[in-house]
């Protein structure tokens, strides 16, 4: 998002009734200050709309919480008097590019039909996208355009304020539990957090298991130690055998049966966290449709299917999940993580790492990395790290390992891991079993799954990357790099890597995949989302609007999975309340 380059702030003010208005409406007012930087109009917390050949225009992703038991009747947007500027050249967008194959996309010229038009671009200052739901809290998503452009005359209209008026009718809130921690969770996802006060009451529960592990009978004994540990920190915990789910729940296939069980657990057990205890041979994944290419149809393995509980992901009932017409749910009611283990020995190691990690003091160090994504580093791929760094507290040490500062060897990589950071961000090319740690300066260097056992770190970081396929955990032939990190005795405590392609823009290396890494740091350090599943859901929540409008944001949204325990807190040190086999390599 290049927030660090923005010199002018976007201000937000809210006009919210204390209770449901007699007029059945309410307003949310937004204020913007725009600046032209390098041919782009930029405003803090907006996204640049990049359509190949068309003007680069910023938009704001408004996320507005509706009052309890209401639904949208109509939405209108009023704007302030525009500021008019003439003689302004606005550049045009380029096609997105995969990080694995940056030379595969040819630059495009401007769309002459658009640039010779006398119509305003875009034609309206807003677009209503959808109504989403998170644990029964309804959120209407609206795109706001504080800048419009008339290309032929090179005229810009910018608006200092846009006010959204939402007209309401009576409605209901499915999946609403009335729990205080649900209310607290939604307030960080919306622009008008005060509206949460209109949600009252508490749903009855027949039991309580805030934390659930789904696994098979072979791995259950290993996970039982994790269950005993978690029981000290959550409101109930239990292990559920995946075969029992298959025998007791209906569904088109096994993933649907598992999801139906999780819906039941959410409603009746107060379940908030679910660990999928095993690789895809133990707990299968759901692949979501992304798009149809020239030769193949693209899908991504997406464990969010198990956590996003509204709808079915298959509204047209064709058993192709996640299509545009399938009314996809984007926010996880139950936070999902996966322990990508195949054997009892791997499960025991995973459990030992999680328990030891949670009972260990957390370092105030964040490691950032850049390998070039293109020859001569154009665009600058350091921007991904810099966008992440801006959210890190000043009390933390920021370490940089950049190819621009010299060749990065495998010894350099091992030394960075041995520095025991809290987080480790990677930028570079990748594939299932490796990623690039150095691209061009002094020669290319790849880091493979077979290199992971050579690590000597004594603290396990949270690892995130924009690399293609390095989180391809559903691969039938090989374990991916993320699996190697999580199942190694050193490596990482958790990985949030891509199941498929990573994406960037030639206008901004940090666009698309890099945006999601940035909001991971924002979610952790600004929004206070330290539980890993909550952290990833919050990071993705910033891109719900973009994912519904842009297939490449949707691609990134679907493909990032948490390989790790979703309940694990990554800032808090817990006490040792049981006698686990606390892991020590030494």
Q: Where are the domains of the chain?
A: 3-198, 211-326, 363-526
Q: Is residue 414 packed enough to be buried (19+ CB in 10 Å), middle (13-18) or exposed (0-12)?
A: middle
Given the candidates 3.40.50.2300, 2.60.40.3800, 3.40.50.10860, 1.10.10.10, the CATH classification of the domain at 3-198 is 2.60.40.3800
- Peptide bond between residue 199 and the one before it cis (omega within 30 degrees of 0): no
**Euclidean distance between CA atoms 82 and 69, whole angstroms:** 36
Q: How many CB atoms lie within 10 A of CB 184?
A: 12
**Euclidean distance between CA atoms 324 and 321, whole angstroms:** 9
Q: Does domain 363-526 have CATH number 3.40.50.1460?
A: yes
Q: What is the mean pLDDT of residues 468-472?
A: 98
Q: What is the mean pLDDT of residues 226-246?
A: 96
Its CATH architecture, for the domain 211-326, is 3-Layer(aba) Sandwich (3.40)
Domains 211-326 and 363-526 share a fold: yes
Query: Using a CB cutoff of 8 Å and minimum separation of 24, what contacts does 520-526 make?
Result: 520/388, 520/464, 520/496, 521/366, 521/388, 521/389, 521/391, 521/392, 521/423, 522/391, 524/391, 524/423, 524/570, 524/571, 525/391, 525/392, 525/393, 526/391
> Is this structure's pTM higher than 0.85?
yes
Is the pLDDT at 15 greater than 50? The verdict is no
What tens digit of pLDDT does each residue of 392-433 get?
A: 999 999 999 999 999 999 999 999 999 999 999 999 999 999
Question: Between residues 11 and 329, which one has the greater pLDDT?
Answer: 329
How far CA 455 is from CA of 302, 361, 414, 415, 445, in Å, comes to 29, 20, 6, 8, 16
Retrieve residue 491's tokens: 């490596």
What tens digit of pLDDT does each residue of 311-369 get?
A: 999 999 999 999 999 999 999 999 999 999 999 999 999 999 999 999 999 999 999 99
How far CA 400 is from CA of 395, 396, 462, 472, in Å, comes to 16, 13, 16, 26
Sheet order of strands, 70-79 included: 11-15, 25-31, 161-170, 70-79
- pLDDT reported for residue 105: 86
Retrieve residue 163's tokens: 């006010």
pLDDT tier at 580, thresholds 50, 70, 90: very low
- pLDDT reported for residue 11: 35
**Percent share of the chain, pLDDT over 90:** 88
Is the pLDDT at 3 greater than 80? The verdict is no
Kindly state the helix (H) or strand (E) to which residue 144 belongs, with its residue range: strand 137-144
Among candidate residues 542, 547, 512, the one with its CA nearest the CA of residue 524: 542
Please answer whether residues 255 and 283 qualify as being in contact, where contact means their C-beta atoms are separated by less than 8 angstroms.
Answer: no
Among candidate residues 203, 186, 205, the one with its CA nearest the CA of residue 137: 186
Burial 30-46 (b: 16+ CB within 10 A, else e): bbbebeeeeebbbbbbb
**Euclidean distance between CA atoms 263 and 257, whole angstroms:** 10
- pLDDT reported for residue 268: 93
Burial 297-334 (b: 16+ CB within 10 A, else e): ebbbbbbbbbbbbbebbbeeeeebbbbeebebbbbbbb
Average confidence score pLDDT of the chain: 92
Question: Between residues 579 and 132, which one has the greater pLDDT?
Answer: 132
């Amino acid at each position: 998002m290049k927030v660090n380059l923005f010199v002018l702030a976007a201000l937000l003010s809210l006009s919210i009734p204390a209770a449901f208005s007699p007029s059945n409406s309410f307003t949310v007012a937004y204020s913007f200050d725009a600046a032209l930087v390098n041919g782009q109009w930029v405003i803090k917390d907006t996204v640049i709309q990049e359509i190949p050949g068309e003007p680069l225009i910023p938009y704001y992703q408004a996320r507005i919480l509706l009052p309890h038991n209401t639904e949208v009747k109509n939405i209108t947007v009023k704007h302030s008097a525009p500021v008019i500027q003439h003689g302004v050249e606005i550049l045009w967008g380029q096609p997105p590019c995969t990080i694995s194959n940056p030379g595969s996309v040819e630059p495009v010229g401007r769309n002459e039909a658009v640039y010779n038009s006398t119509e305003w671009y875009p034609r309206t200052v807003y677009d209503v996208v959808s109504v989403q739901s998170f644990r029964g809290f309804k959120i209407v998503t609206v795109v706001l355009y504080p800048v419009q452009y008339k290309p032929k005359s090179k005229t810009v209209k910018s608006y200092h304020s846009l006010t959204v008026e939402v007209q309401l009718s009576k409605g209901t809130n499915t999946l609403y539990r009335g729990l205080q921690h649900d209310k607290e969770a939604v307030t960080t996802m919306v622009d008008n957090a005060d509206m949460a006060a209109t949600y009252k009451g508490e749903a009855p529960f027949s039991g309580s298991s805030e934390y659930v592990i789904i696994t098979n009978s072979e791995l259950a004994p290993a996970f039982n130690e994790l269950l005993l540990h978690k029981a000290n920190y959550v409101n109930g915990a239990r292990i559920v055998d995946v075969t029992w789910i298959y025998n007791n729940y209906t569904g088109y296939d096994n993933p649907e049966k598992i999801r139906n069980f999780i819906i039941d657990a959410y409603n009746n057990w107060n379940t908030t966290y679910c660990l999928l205890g095993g690789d895809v041979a133990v707990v299968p994944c759901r692949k979501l449709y992304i798009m149809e290419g020239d030769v193949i149809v693209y899908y991504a393995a997406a464990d969010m299917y198990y956590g996003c509980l509204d709808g079915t992901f298959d509204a047209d009932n064709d058993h192709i999940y996640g299509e545009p017409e399938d009314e996809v749910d984007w926010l996880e009611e139950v936070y999902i993580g996966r322990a990508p283990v195949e054997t009892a020995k791997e499960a025991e190691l995973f459990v030992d790492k999680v328990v030891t990690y949670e009972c260990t003091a957390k370092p105030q160090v964040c490691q950032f990395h850049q390998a070039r994504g293109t020859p001569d580093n154009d665009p600058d791929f350091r921007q991904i790290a810099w966008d992440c760094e801006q959210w890190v507290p000043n009390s933390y040490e920021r370490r940089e390992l950049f190819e621009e500062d010299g060749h990065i060897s495998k010894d350099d990589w091992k030394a960075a891991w041995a520095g025991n950071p809290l987080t480790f961000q990677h930028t570079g090319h990748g594939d299932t079993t490796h990623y690039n740690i150095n691209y061009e300066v002094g020669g290319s260097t790849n880091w493979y799954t077979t290199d992971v056992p050579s690590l000597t770190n004594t603290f396990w970081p949270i690892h995130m990357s924009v690399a293609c396929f390095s989180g391809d955990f559903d691969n039938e032939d090989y374990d991916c790099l993320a699996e190697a990190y999580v199942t190694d005795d050193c490596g990482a405590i958790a990985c949030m890597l891509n199941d498929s392609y990573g994406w960037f823009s030639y206008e901004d290396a940090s666009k698309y995949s890099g945006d999601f890494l940035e909001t991971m740091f924002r979610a952790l350090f600004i929004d206070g989302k330290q539980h890993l599943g909550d952290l990833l859901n919050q990071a993705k929540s910033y891109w719900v609007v973009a994912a519904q409008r842009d297939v490449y944001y949707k691609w990134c949204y679907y493909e990032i999975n948490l390989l790790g325990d979703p309940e694990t807190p990554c800032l808090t040190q817990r006490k040792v309340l049981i006698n686990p086999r606390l892991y020590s390599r030494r």
